[in-house]
Amino acid sequence: MSHQLRVDWPACKGRGLCHELLPEIVDLDEWGYPIVTGPITDDLRPDAASAVRACPRLALRIVD
């Protein structure tokens, strides 16, 4: 079962800390909001978990 990173869009205020912590699967759009580019592979699990914890707006979630 592959996991996905999901963004709570009304909560997210951009600026892209998640992109810094997880550049492998998070790009930024031209306004600074995250673009999730792929699923969370096993080797990215720890980094994804820290991005979820680090988001200042608590706007990230890992979903099945």
Q: Which spans of this chain sit near ligand SF4 (rule: CB under 6 A)? A: 7, 9-10, 12-18, 34, 55-57, 59-60
The C-alpha atoms of residue 64 and residue 53 are separated, in whole angstroms, by 18
Contact partner, 30, from other proteins, ligand SF4, none, Cβ < 5-8 Å per class: other proteins
Helix (H) or strand (E) holding 52: helix 45-54
Q: Please, what is the minimum distance in Å from the beta carbon of residue 31 to other proteins?
A: 4
Contact partner, 16, from other proteins, ligand SF4, none, Cβ < 5-8 Å per class: ligand SF4
Distances (CA, A) of 12 to 3, 45, 50, 59: 20, 21, 16, 5
Q: Where along the sequence are the contacts to other proteins (CB under 8 A)?
A: 7-14, 29-33, 35, 61, 63
